[in-house]
Structure 1
Amino acid sequence: MKNFIEIKELDQIINKTAVSIEDGKKEIFEISEKSRQDYNHYEQELLNIKTKLTLIVNEIDKLEIRAKMAKNMIATINAHFDEFTEKDIKDAYELSQKVQIELSVKRQEERELQDRKTELERLLIASKDVMKRSEALETKVSVALDYLTNSIFEQLEDHKHKKEVSIKIIEAQENEKKRISRDIHDGPAQSLANIIFKAEYLSKIIDVAPHKAKKEISELQEDIRDTLKDIRKIIYDLMPMSLDDLGLIPTLNKLISNLMESHPLQIEMKIKNLAPINDPLINLTVFRVVQESFNNIVKHSKCKNALLLIDCTEKKIEVEIIDDGIGFDANGMLKKPSGYGLYNMRERIEMLSGIFSLKSQNGNGTKIKIVIPNKIS
């Protein structure tokens, strides 16, 4: 009876804690969302300011030409005073004064716009910092909340190990969500916003500066093509459709081709045996491990050459990824859940009753090897 009461009280404490954390998470999300809205607002206003500055600078250039002409006219009148009527002289001085007033007003507008531009650039930096900090805090709160609300009592047996695994899985999920959100926001979403702003800008200058507008339209078309390419890359990274349609090897060939196109890296793939892989999960796991390994190579290894070895029989699949880069302390890195995604690789492989091994030393490159059954038992 006592144990039941203790568990019930513990459950109440956990529920109250979860409610408090959930409320805090909502507040953090609202702060993050407000910062994101402010950032987008400042960004749009900044583009509008830049557009206005371009137009005002053009007007100032024209007014300076007119002011110079009026000044020359007055100089001519002073040199040949007897040749001009009183009305000519009056008109010339009034025109010069009018142009000077207009020029002074436009220069003041330019100064105010420049000041606002500087302020907006400062606000953008501050908003971005708030977004970054709140997103990091939101991830930490999500990890704590998910751990409290997801079958905590079922984890009492072998508690320490299961706690670590649960937290790492939740962190990986939250980080992946943040990465996808960040990729979309910083990539296609940002590009599409800029495209809209550019289109608005073009509609304002097309009559004033048609040659410049034509050049901007060409750049806009290139921006649209780049944005489409970014969207396709994000979709491919989430789930390469060619994996189901064409199979593992053609999909890996495409991955390697894309990497060599965008990075100064030579990758060779060698295949010893090629028995069919009928389980989609095994296909996806092998692809993800190879993809993550190459991502690490590109980001960290500073290598020039990499080798992918595949030996797929009816019983097992062996994959090796080798590079000639700078290497690292493998023992230390494997102990870190954040270490180059190596922990997630190992978890994926061990879930399929496979073996994950890593060999690396500072200055001697890296070798990753996985062995998994070609059938899920």
Structure 2
Amino acid sequence: MAADKDALLKELRDQQDRIRRQMTELDALVRQNQAEVDKMSQREMSVSSRRRDMEVNFERYEKVDIKNFYTSAQEVQTRVQMMRSQVEQLQTKQQVLREQQDTLQKLIQSLDEVSVVAETTISNLPHVDPQEQIAAIIQAQEKERLRISLQMHDGPAQSMSNLVLRAEICERFLDHDTNQARSEMASLKTAINTVLQDTRRFIFDLRPMTLDDLGLLPTLKRYSQEFGDKNNIEINLMVQGLETRLPGHYEVTIFRFVQEALNNVQRHANASHVRIILEADASRIQIAIEDDGAGFHVAETLNDPTGKRNMGIASLRQQAEVLLRGQMGIESTVGRGTRVVAVVPAP
């Protein structure tokens, strides 16, 4: 038993070291890419200034100069957008690694605590296999990566491909019909803005920056509003006793818990109304998500031998019970909706 625990601790610390090296490399890449973004932004400002001059003194420029300028301007803007997107992706990866580092640290601390507890005390505790915890965490991470990759393929990647095609159409019109080219470019600009907003919403779902800047409650208000509008679900957020901010890992985990619960509602419940209830006092925090959807047989789902039907529940349990050391329960009746509740100790 002790040998297994020591081997597991070594494996976890080795993984910590690998993540630490990756974070160091990412820090350097972010600084390098941010410097490039700053340079390209300066060039973009210069291009914008020249474009304003061209629009005011249009007759002073040759047609070929105008065409070359707009081609160059488009290249600069595309380059700036790509570099900014790369920086955002790197920053998102940094945050994912930080969360993995926090999770590993909690597991290591848990194992260290176990090593100093008497054997008689351990025998009276509920059995929690650290290997199973790690497997559940890895499985949840892979599931989330698959979801992100599918969303990237069906969303921003597809939209970017369409933008390239429309840009090529604009380029063809420049040589034959200037008025039509202007019309197509205006339409292209609108399409780019739409893709930019969709990408920002995707980034918000992935890792809301407001969670760090403003805290849990403003982030949940915005997320639940946008989620409800997107999926045609009326969502009411009710909060009591959370006047101050929580520690960072609490806010992240509670947000992920609510996010996963809402995703489960959207995927399975066919609900029209959802209530999110957050209640806190000096000793505990309770998070409840209630819907009026189809409901399901809880015992049958939890006992599914394939595990495919309870992946969402496993993710919720991991966040509430493993990461915040609380308790989670589910109440559901077919045709009468579902209630998911987590109670975690106050920080």
TM range (shorter): 0.5 to 0.7
Matching residue of 2:240: 272
Q: Distance in 2 between matches of 1:347 and 1:186?
A: 28
Q: Give the alignment partner of residue 311 of structure 1, picking from 275, 279, 291.
A: 279
Matching residue of 1:263: 231
Q: Distance in 2 between matches of 1:190 and 1:231?
A: 12
Count of residues in correspondence between the two structures:
221
Q: What fraction of aligned residue pairs are identical, expressed as a percent? A: 33
Q: Distance in 2 between matches of 1:167 and 1:365?
A: 30
Q: Give the alignment partner of residue 348 of structure 1, picking from 319, 327, 330.
A: 319
Matching residue of 2:291: 323
Residues 301/211 of structure 1: CA separation in 2 closer, same or farther (3 Å cut): farther
1:188-203 alignment to 2 at 5 Å?
A: 188-203=156-171
Q: Give the alignment partner of residue 236 of structure 1, picking from 204, 210, 215.
A: 204
Q: Distance in 1 between matches of 2:237 and 2:128?
A: 41
Matching residue of 2:345: 373
Q: Distance in 1 between matches of 2:251 and 2:300?
A: 29
Q: Distance in 2 between matches of 1:159 and 1:318?
A: 24
Q: Give the alignment partner of residue 331 of structure 2, picking from 359, 368, 375.
A: 359
Which is higher, the Rg of structure 1 or of structure 2?
1
Matching residue of 2:185: 217
Matching residue of 2:268: 300
8 Å contact from structure 1 (residues 276, 314) kept in 2: no
- 2:341 partner SS: strand
Runs of 5+ consecutive residues of structure 2 not aligned to the other structure: 5-110, 112-125
- 1:283 partner SS: helix
8 Å contact from structure 1 (residues 277, 374) kept in 2: no
Matching residue of 1:17: none
Residue 176 of structure 1: CA displacement?
A: 2.1
8 Å contact from structure 2 (residues 136, 318) kept in 1: no
Q: Distance in 2 between matches of 1:349 and 1:160?
A: 15
Q: Distance in 1 between matches of 2:336 and 2:220?
A: 25
Q: Distance in 2 between matches of 1:257 and 1:174?
A: 27
Aligned partner letter, 1:194: N
8 Å contact from structure 1 (residues 310, 319) kept in 2: yes
Matching residue of 1:291: 259
Runs of 5+ consecutive residues of structure 1 not aligned to the other structure: 1-6, 8-153
Q: Give the alignment partner of residue 186 of structure 1, picking from 137, 142, 154.
A: 154
- TM-score, normalising length from structure 2? 0.57
- 1:341 partner SS: helix
Matching residue of 2:142: 174
8 Å contact from structure 2 (residues 260, 315) kept in 1: no
Please say which of residues 216-225 and 362-371 is displaced more in the overlay.
216-225
Residue 326 of structure 1: CA displacement?
A: 0.8
Matching residue of 1:24: none
Residue 215 of structure 1: CA displacement?
A: 4.9
Note the alpha carbon deviations across 1:216-250, whole angstroms, 9 max, x for none: 43432232122212221222122211112111111
Matching residue of 2:107: none
- 2:314 partner SS: helix
Residue 330 of structure 1: CA displacement?
A: 1.8
1:49-198 alignment to 2 at 5 Å?
A: 161-198=129-166
